[in-house]
Chains A and B, each alone.
Chain A
Amino acid sequence: MSSETVDDGTVGSALGHITICDLSGQLAGAGSTRYLAAFGARVIRVEDPVRQGRWDILRGVVPHVDDRLGIELGGAFNNHNVEKLGVTINLRLEAGRDLLRRLVEVSDVVTENFAAGVMAKLGFSYEELRRIRPDLIYVSNSGFGSDGPYASFKTFGPVVQAVCGLTFGVGRADAAPAGWGFSYMDHMGANYMALAVLAALVHRNRTGEGQWVDMSCTEAGLGLTGPDLLDYTVNGRPLRRPGMPDSNHSDQPAMAPHALYPTREPDRWVAIACRDDEDWSAFVGACGEAWAQDPGFGTVAGRLARQEELDRLVAGWTSSRERDQVAGELREVGVPAAAVAMSEDRIEHDPDNAAWGLFPVVHHPEMGDVRVDGIPVHLSETDWRISRGAPLLGQHNREVFCGLVGLSDEEFGALQDASVL
């Protein structure tokens, strides 16, 4: 068979045959449906007209493209909601809940990242959703999952990271945690959520069955601390112990030197990682300093035993140089090294990101042309496309409710008049 078996409208897009009723938001939820939308899924983002979509705290807030402020002008919201359709439904009203039911009827997937239990309170538990459409896929992403002692607890990225052990793993030895300086688990939670949608679609394709995927973002995060957890369950060695987390050094695998070193300019750093003794010999050749000839540094065990001294010596060498010079000279001889890139370095001056098309331009009706995150995979036959900015509040109400759900103009007008939209 060839791609001729796909409906006309879906050729060239991997997920063009999938419709998603998306009640998610922020980054942890919106990031997942953004990925699916980039591959052609019809993602219909449902927002609350009464509070102007503000349950998503990113709607309307910084950063902004210019001095204008407003609910349609949030830069992060635009980034996280590209390629989606936007509708508004007032779920406080029975007519609104009826409309959502009709939207669910024509959707393959429902996604949300409310706190556990919120959907049920709105009248849309999985049991109810399944009654509307038996083969529906429902993916919920909450901080702690749908059950267990912390089920009702509320989170956002930094709280997830703190509770799941990831924050603990970022910092100097025996010091306060530095933690992640961004919502790492919003990204990873969103990615896992998208994976859950795709996995459930594969299962439905095989069996015809829908299902509920109950995702707990803290569990997804705890799973990312793997080798440290196994060191605990196998060897009884907790990560909360003297000398930890020491995260710029490397014990998994053991490497030295392995750190971010200062360079000639203030607050500009270079990463150097000697994976083995061969890398070390190459480093010694490139650096050319007398101290590096010390035979005691010739083995990884020797270098680890004197790691502090070694770091001081390496820092002495890097401190008089430019970060790109150090990284270039070392990579030239096969030693892993890289400048610690700031936003501008990698977004404006990097040939790889440019060649990848990593920061595509979207058009937003009010913000104009804005660059956004792209997708880090390219598919040879059905690649992603990102060109449309985030939807305005209710921008696609008529298109979705008349075109897809099948309301008549009169029904649509009546819903407008009744402030359901």
Chain B
Amino acid sequence: MTGPLHGARVVELASLWGAWAGRSLADLGAEVIVVEPPGGHFTRSFGPFVDDQPHPDRSLWWWYYNASKKSVVIDLASSGGADDFRRLVGSADIVLEGERPGKLASLGLDHTDFRARRPELVWTSVTSHGRDSQRSEEPWTDLTLSAASGVAWLNGYDDHSLPPMRGRGSQTIQIAGLHAALGTLTALVYRDASSAGQHIDVSAYAACNVTTESGTFVWLVAGETVQRQTGRHASVHQTMEVQVQAADGRYVTTGFPPQEAKDFRVLLGWLDELGLRESCPEAFFLDMGIERGGINVAKESADPVVMAIFGAIRTALVYIAEHLSASEFFEEAQRRDFQCGIIFSPEEAFENPHFVARGFPTPVAHEELGREIRYPGAPFQMSKSPWAIQGRPPLVGEHTESVLGRG
């Protein structure tokens, strides 16, 4: 089986903001040719590195964003290079680039010329703030974009003398890249119906702005600002803590407490099984909750008894978590239909039997190192046209000769 984009050719100018889009299109089966400057793209200098040895072909950052692609080295500033690029674009269904606005036009390589000649071409530009913004001329990083877009404001601790927190993993780059892939596929579906290509202008900043959930809609609807809290949603009003350190020192999240009487019975039964009912003072409120036939916090938040019961459910879950290992708490809670979670580190999730059973860890041959390396697998399983890693990331210029037809 091949991916849905099998047979399509994508020419990608290596970039920060477009990298994940190229990887997505490649895993969906397109032939993605990433064009790098001589010496390789600067993101090949991003760590971590294989065996901690910095080298353009050993950057694990590059690996993750560029697996499944082919690499062609072209110096766009040279006249021969510009011609090579024109020829490549002439063979492409899709062009993907993240150059600062005006850069390609100054080299005589603007999308408008290409599209005038080939109206079926789909051309996707991913910049920090969109093609028409002055700010796309400025340097932006994952950190500064997280800050400016409102993403960082939402994460952090109850203690506001500590700064808000960025997430690891270049998430703004992934957000931008995913939207670039979405826009590109939207244009492809339209092209299938009409034969018409188009230009797609992607703003990483706009993408992150609309990846803030209540950080945006609470302001838009109610004009209120949510405030960060440890381990739970930022909120206008402080909410109860949900994150607990389990008996083995690891953390769990108690999720959204159940409110139905049957859940209270299950929770009391769980306390009984563990021999904790006597020592758990909240058990009394759980009984009250059963007598009331459950609670509805959305409707009854003004009733102090209801809120006491609601608080008791959470406290009882916390109490149980403090007496179990994080894994036991998570699995036992879920078996009782409570939507609780465990805070795995990425490698713990990766090795967990569930993800292994689904085939998520994906071996990729790295014959250049004589090794087989496990990569994270597909974000979704397509039964007829799978998302699949097409091969290891390319060495600098590995396919220059085979793609351009010369050395």
Contacts and interface: CB of A to CB of B under 8 A. Distances in A.
Contact of B167 (A10, A139, A166): A166
A340 B160 contact: no
For chain A, what secondary structure do more than half of its interface residues adopt (helix, strand, loop), or is it mixed? mixed
Contacts of B24: 195
B156 to A, nearest CB: 5
A5 B141 CA distance: 43
Contact of B163 (A3, A15, A39, A269): A269
A374 B341 contact: no
Main secondary structure of the interface of B (DSSP, over half): mixed
A191 B182 contact: yes
A377 B183 contact: yes
A374 B186 contact: no
A181 B150 contact: no
A384 to B, nearest CB: 9
6 contacts: A63-B217, A182-B234, A196-B380, A219-B377, A269-B164, A377-B182
Contact of B60 (A202, A231, A352): A231
Contacts of B385: 199-200, 203, 207, 209, 211
Residue with the highest number of chain B CB atoms closer than 10 Å, among A27, A147, A234: A234
B346 A377 contact: no
B183 A379 contact: yes
Contacts of A171: 165
Which interface residue of B168, B185, B255, B382 has the most chain A CB atoms within 10 A? B168
Contacts of A160: 341
A147 B155 contact: no
- Going nearest first, the 4 A-B pairs with the smallest beta carbon separation are A165-B346, A75-B221, A162-B341, A169-B168
A30 to B, nearest CB: 12
A407 interface: no
Contact of B154 (A159, A182, A186): A182
Given A170-B166, A232-B347, A202 B189 contact: yes
B190 A14 contact: yes
Interface stretch (A43-51, A96-104, A248-256, A396-404): A248-256
Given A158-B255, A344-B219, A355 B354 contact: no
A203 B150 contact: no
B60 A234 contact: yes
Nearest to B126: A377
A214 B386 CA distance: 11
A406 interface: no
B48 A252 contact: yes
- Which interface residue of A163, A220, A377 has the most chain B CB atoms within 10 A? A377
Q: Which of A168, A214, A275, A279: most chain B Cβ within 10 A?
A: A168
Contacts of A193: 380
A187 interface: yes
A371 interface: yes
Contacts of B384: 203, 207, 209-211
A342 B171 contact: no
A343 B226 contact: yes
B346 A75 contact: no
Of A184, A215, A226, A370, most buried by chain B (CB within 10 Å of CB) is A226
A118 to B, nearest CB: 13
A62 to B, nearest CB: 8
B4 A202 contact: yes
Interface stretch (A84-92, A260-268, A291-299): A260-268
Contacts of B154: 180-182
Interface in B99-158: 119, 129-130, 132-133, 135, 138-150, 152-157
B187 A14 contact: yes
B298 interface: yes
A1 B230 contact: no
A124 interface: no
A186 B233 CA distance: 13
B179 interface: yes
A68 interface: no
B349 A158 contact: no
Contacts of B251: 176-177
Interface string A35-70: 100010000000000000000000011111100000
A365 B350 CA distance: 47
A336 B143 contact: yes
Interface stretch (B203-211, B264-272, B283-291, B313-321): B203-211
A260 B151 CA distance: 13
A345 to B, nearest CB: 8
